[in-house]
């Protein structure tokens, strides 16, 4: 049992090292403990850092309205030499401002100097690998790459340089091609707000990817998380389908780690959660699940592709798994084909019938609204497809005397940097609200269906931060202070619609163009052209 700021948390596997003669660093997750401890990047970073003998690594989480303290020793964040923030979601940028301010640490990078012992503020994670610019004023450094490929070298360099002045330490750490020091880059803007150039013009940061095994695994088990007392395994990283809207599939090459899944079966834990956007492409998944099931393990699956269902797998898990989640993504075939999921309505219905023939699984189906070239008939197609799915459920379940729970979840499409759809615009708020309202009304009348959706307002904010630049520091600070979005839009020195509501030209310089990842900008644009051609060839 360890005591958090306001509550008692039950954990197994946490590490508490003696501070004596060790360098203290802290992983700061910019959200609650409940959310953060379900994030494998945190576990991976925690294990890696504590695996270095000269380092003591602790954890801290966002505490709304109060100062954050480390979980293990209850120390303030200013007590540590380095603070590592990890991001998987743009909206968490907002909490950074609150965390630093409440901890008495200067929010802006330019306000930190050599005169006072201020922690070095470092960030990493998939969203900053794609585009760190909206929060570049807040961080000293960004680690652009996988934990496994970067942290040991980064900390070795720090341990050698830590006695130097703060500025000199940052210079030493910035020598790695995968470390981004935003103070080394000047961005110039045109009169219309677009980026005109970088200084120096040849400035590049190369993302450093891990090519080995294992991938991420749980280090700590806790009762107080989204996946309570569940051992999580990153079965895949990236996704081979590389759908044009998906950040994970475009930032990472596809990787598989089957060995860690098998090893999980030998652990003294009942529940194993398999994570990864490409799990549907694991051809050996039925065998893996059978192996786990034979050893009495309960397997929990991520969202799957409905055109990649291994039905023999469902036979194995039907008595252990209650809910299946599928990313349908769009209501009409023309949009599904364009975004990389070319499966017809007939195939979807046929597959769902096969699922219900095996067992009365609950289904959660994800759709996006506001996709490029979306028409009202595409929205109506979501409803029509939901109606057909409900009909199949009633037909199959009624003779059994019960009804499966069916959930339709709607998310606004948010264009992401580093993907083929980074050139597109987001649908406007009024249109998204109308579409959501229409779907809610129609689906509610059907009965036996649950309708849920993401916040339209927060999706808009996410879109701003996803493709924003370093001029958004003011906006992030105001959001952290709780200012009304409409008020922020009026006061912002930059029109926020500029980041959200416009199509980008092919040769426009993006704020993140200095980042070299798995796919070149030329490759992404070719994929974008393929997407457009699929929309035209209906």
Query: Is there a single domain that holds both residue 33 and residue 102?
Result: yes
Choose among 420, 424, 512: nearest CA to 468: 512
Q: What is the CATH number of the domain that holds 164?
A: 3.40.50
Query: Is there a single domain that holds both residue 176 and residue 241?
Result: no
**What φ, ψ does residue 355 adopt, rounded to 5°?**
-60, -45
Number of separate domains in the chain: 2
- Which string of b and e fits 339-376 if b means at least 16 CB within 10 Å? bbbebebeebeebbeebbeebbbbbbbbbbbbbbebee
Beta bridge partner(s), residue 2: 9
Query: Is there a single domain that holds both residue 353 and residue 406?
Result: yes
Query: Is there a single domain that holds both residue 230 and residue 358?
Result: yes
Domain boundary among 437, 456, 475: 456
> Which stretch of DSSP H or E encloses residue 258?
helix 258-264
Q: Output the pTM of the full model.
A: 0.94
Between CA 178 and CA 142 the distance in angstroms is 8
On whether residue 313 sits in a domain, the answer given is yes
Query: Is there a single domain that holds both residue 113 and residue 250?
Result: no
- Reading the block at residue 273, the tokens are 């959660």
Sign of CA dihedral 364, 328, 326, 210: negative
On whether residue 423 sits in a domain, the answer given is yes
Contact present, 105 and 93 (Cβ < 8 Å): no
- Reading the block at residue 53, the tokens are 């003998």
Query: Is there a single domain that holds both residue 97 and residue 234?
Result: no
On whether residue 154 sits in a domain, the answer given is yes
Between CA 82 and CA 189 the distance in angstroms is 32
Choose among 496, 358, 494, 378: nearest CA to 426: 496
Between CA 448 and CA 404 the distance in angstroms is 9
Q: Which residue's structure tokens are 């199509």?
A: 503
Between CA 225 and CA 33 the distance in angstroms is 7
Between the CA atoms of 128, 134, 139 and 140, what dihedral angle is there, to the nearest 10 degrees?
A: 90
Query: Is there a single domain that holds both residue 174 and residue 276?
Result: no
Query: Is there a single domain that holds both residue 241 and residue 301?
Result: yes
**What φ, ψ does residue 79 adopt, rounded to 5°?**
-80, -10
On whether residue 485 sits in a domain, the answer given is no
Between CA 523 and CA 420 the distance in angstroms is 8
User: pLDDT above 90 covers what percent of the chain?
Assistant: 84
Between CA 531 and CA 538 the distance in angstroms is 12
Q: Report the pLDDT value the prediction gives residue 434, as an integer from 0 to 100.
A: 98
Between CA 256 and CA 238 the distance in angstroms is 9
Count other Cβ atoms within 10 Å, centred on residue 315. 14
Reduced to 3 states, what is the DSSP secondary structure of residue 73? Answer: coil
On whether residue 495 sits in a domain, the answer given is no
Between CA 411 and CA 327 the distance in angstroms is 11
Q: Report the pLDDT value the prediction gives residue 5, as an integer from 0 to 100.
A: 42
Q: Report the pLDDT value the prediction gives residue 1, as an integer from 0 to 100.
A: 35
Q: What is the CATH number of the domain that holds 374?
A: 3.20.20.70
Pairing type for strands 8-9 and 2-3 reads antiparallel
pLDDT profile of the chain (538 residues), mean per 10: 49 91 97 94 97 97 90 95 97 96 94 90 97 98 98 98 96 98 98 97 97 93 90 95 95 94 92 92 88 89 89 84 93 96 96 94 96 97 96 89 91 98 97 98 91 97 97 95 92 93 97 97 97 87
Q: What is the pLDDT of residues 205-249, one digit of tens each?
A: 999 999 999 999 999 999 888 888 999 999 999 999 999 999 999
Q: What is the pLDDT of residues 281-300, one digit of tens each?
A: 988 888 888 899 889 898 88
Which residue range is the domain that position 154 belongs to?
A: 2-124+141-180
- Which string of b and e fits 237-247 if b means at least 16 CB within 10 Å? bbbebbbbbbb
On whether residue 190 sits in a domain, the answer given is no
Between CA 231 and CA 267 the distance in angstroms is 9
Query: Is there a single domain that holds both residue 302 and residue 365?
Result: yes
Query: Is there a single domain that holds both residue 239 and residue 165?
Result: no
Q: Report the pLDDT value the prediction gives residue 9, as an integer from 0 to 100.
A: 66
On whether residue 25 sits in a domain, the answer given is yes
Q: Give Cα separations from 382 to 378, 394, 463 (angstroms).
A: 7, 18, 23
HEC letters along 216-237: CECCCEECCCCCCCEEEEECEE
Domain boundary among 456, 481, 510: 456
Between CA 19 and CA 124 the distance in angstroms is 25
Query: Is there a single domain that holds both residue 273 and residue 389?
Result: yes
On whether residue 200 sits in a domain, the answer given is no
Domain boundary among 404, 436, 456: 456
Q: Report the pLDDT value the prediction gives residue 538, as an integer from 0 to 100.
A: 62
Query: Is there a single domain that holds both residue 325 and residue 419?
Result: yes
Between CA 534 and CA 335 the distance in angstroms is 8
């Amino acid at each position: 049992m360890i005591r958090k700021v306001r509550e008692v948390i039950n954990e197994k596997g946490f590490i508490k090292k003696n501070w004596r003669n060790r360098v203290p660093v802290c992983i700061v997750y910019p959200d609650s403990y409940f959310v953060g401890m379900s994030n494998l990047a945190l576990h991976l970073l925690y294990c890696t850092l504590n695996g270095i003998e000269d380092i003591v690594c602790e954890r801290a989480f966002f505490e709304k309205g109060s100062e954050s303290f480390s979980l293990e020793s209850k120390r303030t964040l200013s007590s540590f030499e380095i603070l590592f923030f990890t991001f998987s979601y743009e909206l968490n940028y907002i909490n950074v401002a609150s965390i630093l301010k409440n901890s008495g640490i200067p929010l802006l990078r330019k306000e930190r100097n050599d005169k006072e012992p201020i922690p070095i503020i470092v960030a990493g994670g998939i969203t900053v690998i794609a585009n760190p610019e909206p929060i570049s004023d807040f961080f000293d450094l960004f680690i652009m790459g996988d934990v496994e490929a970067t942290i040991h070298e980064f900390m070795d360099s720090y341990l050698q340089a830590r006695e130097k002045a703060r500025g000199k330490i940052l210079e030493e750490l910035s020598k790695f091609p995968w470390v981004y020091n935003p103070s080394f880059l000047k961005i110039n803007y045109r009169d219309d707000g677009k980026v005109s150039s970088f200084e120096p013009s040849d400035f590049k940061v190369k993302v450093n990817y891990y090519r080995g095994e294992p991938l991420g695994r749980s280090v700590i088990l806790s009762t107080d998380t989204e996946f309570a007392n569940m051992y999580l395994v990153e079965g895949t990283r990236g996704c081979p389908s590389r759908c044009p809207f998906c950040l994970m599939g475009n930032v990472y090459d596809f990787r598989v780690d089957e060995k860690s899944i098998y090893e999980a079966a030998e652990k003294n834990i009942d529940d194993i959660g398999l994570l990864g956007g490409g799990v549907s492409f694991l051809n050996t998944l039925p065998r893996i699940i059978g192996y786990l099931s034979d050893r009495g393990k309960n397997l929990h699956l991520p969202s799957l592709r409905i055109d990649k269902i291994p039905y023999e797998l469902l036979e194995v898990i039907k008595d252990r798994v209650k809910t299946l989640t599928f990313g349908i993504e769009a209501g009409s075939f023309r949009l599904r084909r364009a975004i990389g999921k070319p499966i017809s309505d007939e195939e979807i219905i046929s597959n769902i019938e096969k699922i219900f023939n095996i067992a009365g699984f609950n289904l959660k189906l994800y759709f996006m609204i506001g996709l490029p070239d979306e028409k009202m008939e595409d929205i109506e197609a979501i409803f029509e497809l939901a109606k057909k799915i409900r009909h199949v459920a009633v037909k199959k379940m009624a003779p059994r005397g019960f009804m499966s729970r069916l959930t339709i979840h709607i998310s606004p499409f948010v264009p992401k940097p580093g993907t083929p759809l980074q050139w597109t615009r987001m649908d406007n708020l009024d249109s998204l609200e109308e579409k959501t309202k229409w779907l809610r009304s129609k689906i509610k009348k059907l009965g036996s269906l649950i309708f849920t959706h993401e916040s339209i307002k927060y999706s808009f904010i996410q879109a701003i931060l996803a493709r924003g630049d370093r001029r958004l520091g003011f906006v992030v600070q105001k959001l952290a202070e709780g200012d009304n979005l409409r008020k922020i839009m009026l006061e912002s020195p930059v029109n926020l619609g500029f980041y959200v509501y416009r199509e980008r030209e092919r040769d426009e310089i993006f704020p993140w163009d200095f980042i070299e990842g798995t796919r070149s900008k030329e490759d992404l644009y070719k994929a974008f052209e393929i997407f457009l051609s699929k929309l035209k060839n209906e």
